[in-house]
């Protein structure tokens, strides 16, 4: 088993100061997927870049990426361009590029069917809840100990498949609720940096009942 973030196909080792945190927002590239439920994680990365003066650019790691300063911290932001199911193909090289040698310094932001629409919860390691993006990251990093910011998109109605639900157009009210959650998830990332993961998790996981 390879060490965390290492493989023969990874990008060259980073030179210079490593990032304090790598924040990866999951989603699918392309205009047809933009701002869907499935791209909630990517929208969080976009928002963090806008808040902190970053500009996401396509790099060799098959991701739109930027480095920003959040307080005293150097933070790398990334949105893999590999499509959701192959997210690990991008995240593997990203953790090497940004010198992330501890999985807890990787924060993956993603949509979560098992949470009600608009609910934001933090989680460190543990089960992947059938999320294909997380499965791919685990397969490439050989660990599931990375941190997650989970954005609830709700379960599909009736007999609709989960894959259809996360890509289906939302109502205006649902869009507003998801946008509030995206802002809250960005706040959660900033709280992780300011206060540490455990304190941020206690704050955001108990904000309101399920």
Report yes or no on 8 lying in a domain.
Answer: no
% of the chain with per-residue pLDDT over 90: 80
CATH code, domain with 26: 3.40.50.1470
pLDDT at 18 exceeding the cut of 60:
yes
Q: Is residue 88 part of a domain?
A: yes
Q: Is residue 199 part of a domain?
A: yes
In a domain, 121, yes or no: yes
More confident residue, 208 or 151: 151
CA dist 191 and 49 (Å) reads 16
151, 123 contact by CB (below 8 A): no
Please report whether residue 1 resides in a domain.
no
Spatial contact of 50 and 66, defined as CB atoms under 8 Å apart: no
Token pair 């009736």 in the structure block, residue: 158
Structural domain containing residue 53: 21-205
Output the pLDDT for position 155.
81
In a domain, 117, yes or no: yes
pLDDT at 7: 52
Q: How many domains does the chain have?
A: 1
- 13 in a domain, yes or no? no
102, 4 Cβ separation under 8 angstroms: yes
pTM, two decimal places: 0.90
> What confidence score (pLDDT) does residue 1 get?
35
Say what the pLDDT of residue 3 is.
53
- Domain for residue 124, yes or no? yes
pLDDT band at 120 (very low <50, low <70, confident <90, very high): very high
Active-site residue flag, 38: yes
Residue with tokens 């205009």: 31
Catalytic one of 38, 110, 131, 140: 38
Distance CA 141, CA 138 (A): 5
């Amino acid at each position: 088993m390879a060490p965390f973030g290492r493989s023969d196909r990874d990008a060259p080792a980073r030179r210079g100061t490593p990032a304090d945190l790598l924040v990866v927002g999951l989603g699918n590239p392309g205009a047809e997927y933009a701002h869907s439920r499935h791209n909630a994680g990517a929208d969080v990365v976009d928002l963090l870049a806008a808040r902190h003066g970053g500009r996401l650019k396509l790099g060799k790691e098959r991701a739109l990426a930027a480095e920003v300063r959040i307080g005293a911290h150097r933070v790398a932001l990334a949105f893999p361009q590999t499509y959701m199911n192959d997210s690990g193909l991008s995240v593997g090289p990203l953790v090497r590029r940004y010198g992330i040698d501890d999985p807890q310094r990787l924060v993956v932001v993603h949509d979560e069917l098992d949470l009600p629409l608009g609910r934001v919860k933090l989680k460190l390691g543990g089960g992947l809840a059938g999320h294909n993006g997380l499965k791919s990251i685990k397969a490439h990093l050989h660990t599931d100990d990375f941190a997650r910011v989970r954005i609830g998109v709700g379960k599909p109605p009736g007999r609709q498949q989960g894959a259809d639900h996360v890509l289906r157009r939302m109502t205006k009210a649902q869009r507003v609720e998801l946008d509030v959650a995206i802002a809250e998830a960005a706040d959660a990332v900033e709280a992780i940096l300011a206060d540490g993961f455990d304190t941020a998790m206690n704050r955001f996981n108990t904000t309101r009942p399920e």
